[in-house]
Amino acid sequence: MEEKYFEISSDNLKKFVDRIITDNYEVIAPTDKDGDTFYGKISKFEEANLDILLPKMSYKEYLLPKTETLFEYSISGVDTEVKDGLQGITGANEKRVIFGGRPCDAGAGPIMEKVFNWDYKDEFFNERFKNLTIISIACEKPDNYCFCTEMQLSPESSYGSDILLKKSGDKYFAIVTGEKGLNLVKAYSDLFAETTKDKVPADKDWKKIFEIEKTKSFLDKNFEHNYFQERFLSCIGCGVCTYTCPTCHCFDIQDEGNLKEGRRIRNWDSCQFGIFTLHTSGHNPRVTQGDRYRQRLMHKFKIYSEKFDKYLCVGCGRCSRNCPEDIDIKEVAKNLAEMA
Amino acid sequence: MANTKTDEKLQKIAKDLLESGEVNLIIGYTKGSNPQRMRPVFITKPEEAEKLSFSHNAVQDLAVFLKKQEVKKFGKIGITVKGCDEKAVNALIQEYQLSRDNIKIIGMQCNGVIKQNLADKGETKVSETTVYDKCLICQEHTPVLYDFLVETEEPELSLSGNVKPYAEIEKLDALSTEEKNAYWAKEFDKCIKCYACRQACPLCFCSRCIVEKNMPQWIDTNSEEPGNAQWNLIRAYHLSGRCIGCGECERACPVNIPLMLINEKMARDVYNLFGYKSGLDINAKPVFGVFSESDFNDFIK
């Protein structure tokens, strides 16, 4: 579908959100709790915080829950019953909307979709992703940790959003990218007014401070470079970068249960953990934290792009903002580009 | 930015230590990714000592690096520590993780560090409403043990008494068991099992953590009930009588679980029951590492 363009006033946007909630949509938006802002279910428009740049965590958990049951079993006498986790899948509801996220977060969905449909089709991810409607708001003031522009997106990118809202005075322009977004706009057509592309303010000329292709070309040739061991001596392997990342998607499959009942689950995992690559023999191919942080850089800026033609990073900067030891991935990627 | 007197003195000490060969590595702070942030830095050459700096944004507990294999390889190490962090060095010595002979302690006088989330929003003033709760109850503005001391230029933290540190503890103590359970169930529900609390802790030094042992699987791996509560409780128990209150677990937690309420409550209980505070004396035996006939035994019924 070609992009379509609408206008909606700020008042009507509020009405829109309140009305979809009344019509039983589950609306997930940046909302204040525990002294910060996180994505969470809201029960009215006022609960959304649209002033902040980004919530502390991404909304990855709404596509890939931190723990997911793949199947359950129960044994009674000689009878064994196995229940497919897909039957009890939660959050794959057609009436689920992420509202008020940013273009970087929206960009993560279609990037992750590639690996979840590469050889094995991951039905759990797909069920949630195809049903999720993403309404993002373009950024006006990215901060110093943001680098979406370097990551082939921009503060005004509509990639991955079903509807991208661009603020203009006391109204928003809605860029509708596909059927999912269009159906929603049509269902509340009294609040939206159709317009044309030329009325939508042009994107600003967002400047890049480094070229990610150069970062990649450094990584292509310098696996053994000292930089990794020296720079990441300060990494404590806490994994916060990977857990708060919208595109990091590694999981660990575990069985829990006993002779009578149990389940197979998958949990979030992280390449920053020493145990992540520990072999049964006791050998570990990634011995140091330098080896592990290098792996994160390689996966994001080299391996994934070679396999799927997209970098595994949207430049949201969460890993830098949340790093307890102040490792700034934008600065690192820039350093590497400069050394290429 | 020009060096402060503090920085100059710190840099001189570090340079001398490296030049004389007394240490092979200095772990310290340097300027971070924004003017309100500092970050750890590892200095091995005397001429690089000028990178060292210290301020009320030096939030990290650098003692965490003393447990890291890559850092241990350096042998003799000099470390820059605030009073709170220095207690972690002492606790590591008490628990035979570190030899006093292998560490040079550069003690930094400190009158409080600004909460990082406030500093990131532009807060630059040290006051009772901007520093961590640990700073409000701090008894070690001057570290208890040091080889070198760098005096602070910051004014003393003035306490009006209106800000009650760890105020939630009293509120929670007043609740029923069911209410306490409900409070913590809600907090632990947020846990995503990243174990950042463990990694950020200078005293969580087990080479294989109990959550990584699966024969048997002591702790459920899920990030739901009961896995989250199991993890958070075992973390708490393994640190009771040991936690020195640096608060790094809580600062690292990406989902804002108030871990310091647990740690501080345990520290108070241990003090009330055993008269022991962790990390104050390298010659003291760890409270749960010794048996004394005078230990209370009211719990035996």
Q: Which residues of A touch B254 (CB under 8 A)?
A: 56-57, 240, 243-244, 322
Interface test with B, best of A319, A325, A334 (most B CBs within 10 A): A325
- How many angstroms separate the CA of residue A196 from the nearest CA in chain B? 39
Smallest Cβ–Cβ distance between B194 and the set A243, A265, A328 belongs to A243
Round to whole Å and give the CA distance between B107 and B109.
6
Domain residue ranges in chain A: 4-339
Q: What is the average pLDDT across A31-52?
A: 96
Q: Which residues contact A166 (CB under 8 A, 6 or more apart)?
A: A137, A138, A156, A172, A173, A175, A200, A201
Asked if B127 contacts B162 with a C-beta cutoff of 8 angstroms, the reply is: no
Round to whole Å and give the CA distance between B226 and B251.
24
Round to whole Å and give the CA distance between A176 and B222.
38
Smallest Cβ–Cβ distance between A331 and the set B33, B38, B40 belongs to B33
What is the reported pLDDT for B294? Answer: 83
DSSP-derived letter for residue A256 is E
Round to whole Å and give the CA distance between A101 and A59.
9
Contact across the interface for B199 and A239, Cβ inside 8 Å: yes
Round to whole Å and give the CA distance between A267 and A305.
25
Smallest Cβ–Cβ distance between B220 and the set A252, A256, A322 belongs to A256
- What b/e string do you get for B160-190 counting C-beta neighbours within 10 Å, with b at 16 or more? eeeeebbebbeebeeeeeeeeeebbeebbeb
Contact across the interface for A256 and B196, Cβ inside 8 Å: no
Residues A296-328: tens digit of each pLDDT: 999 999 999 999 999 999 999 999 999 999 999
Interface test with B, best of A31, A49, A240 (most B CBs within 10 A): A240
Round to whole Å and give the CA distance between A249 and A308.
15
What is the reported pLDDT for B83? Answer: 98
Q: Express as a percent the part of chain B with pLDDT over 70.
A: 99
Helix axes A212-221, A329-339, angle to 10 degrees: 70
Facing residues of A264 across strands? A71, A255
Q: Which residues of A touch B41 (CB under 8 A)?
A: 234
**CA-based nearest residue in chain B for residue A244:** B254
Contact across the interface for B60 and A325, Cβ inside 8 Å: yes
pLDDT at A88 over 90: no
Residues 83-142 of B with CB under 8 A from A: 117, 120
Smallest Cβ–Cβ distance between B200 and the set A35, A229, A324 belongs to A324
Residue A137, number of CB atoms within 10 A of its CB = 21
Smallest Cβ–Cβ distance between B33 and the set A230, A236, A326 belongs to A326
Residues A22-32: tens digit of each pLDDT: 999 999 999 99
What is the reported pLDDT for B298? Answer: 83
Residues A177-222: tens digit of each pLDDT: 999 999 999 999 999 999 999 999 999 999 999 999 999 999 999 9
What is the reported pLDDT for A94? Answer: 84
Residues B134-158: tens digit of each pLDDT: 999 999 999 999 999 999 988 899 9
**ipTM for the assembly:** 0.95
Predicted confidence band of residue B77 (pLDDT cuts 50, 70, 90): very high
Contact across the interface for B195 and A238, Cβ inside 8 Å: yes
Q: What is the average pLDDT across A25-49?
A: 97
Interface test with A, best of B44, B116, B193, B235 (most A CBs within 10 A): B193
What is the reported pLDDT for B293? Answer: 85
- How many angstroms separate the CA of residue B229 from the nearest CA in chain A? 14
Q: Is B122 exposed, middle or buried (0-12, 13-18, 19+ CB in 10 A)?
A: exposed
Largest CA distance in chain B: 65
**Distance from the first to the final alpha carbon of chain B:** 65
Contact across the interface for B64 and A236, Cβ inside 8 Å: yes
Domain residue ranges in chain B: 5-150, 167-289
- The amino acid sitting at B84 is C
Q: Express as a percent the part of chain B with pLDDT over 90.
A: 89
Asked if A17 contacts A48 with a C-beta cutoff of 8 angstroms, the reply is: yes
What is the reported pLDDT for A123? Answer: 96
**CA-based nearest residue in chain B for residue A256:** B220
Contact across the interface for A238 and B42, Cβ inside 8 Å: no
Residues B192-248: tens digit of each pLDDT: 999 999 999 999 999 899 999 988 889 999 999 889 999 999 999 999 999 999 999
How much is the mean pLDDT over chain A? 96
- How many angstroms separate the CA of residue A234 from the nearest CA in chain B? 6
What is the reported pLDDT for B2? Answer: 55
Residues A57-70: tens digit of each pLDDT: 999 999 999 999 99
pTM: predicted TM-score of the whole model, two decimal places:
0.95
What is the reported pLDDT for A238? Answer: 96
Give the residue numbers in A contacting B (CB under 8 Å), as ranges: 34-36, 38, 56-57, 61, 66-67, 144-145, 229-230, 233-234, 236-240, 242-244, 252, 254, 256, 265, 267-268, 270, 273, 275, 288-290, 320-322, 324-328, 331
B188 in contact with chain A, both atoms CB, cutoff 8 A: no
pLDDT at B301 over 90: no
CA distances from A325 to A84, A140, B155 (A): 42, 28, 26
Q: What is the average pLDDT across A121-142?
A: 97
CA distances from A194 to A8, A174, A189, A282 (A): 9, 9, 9, 63
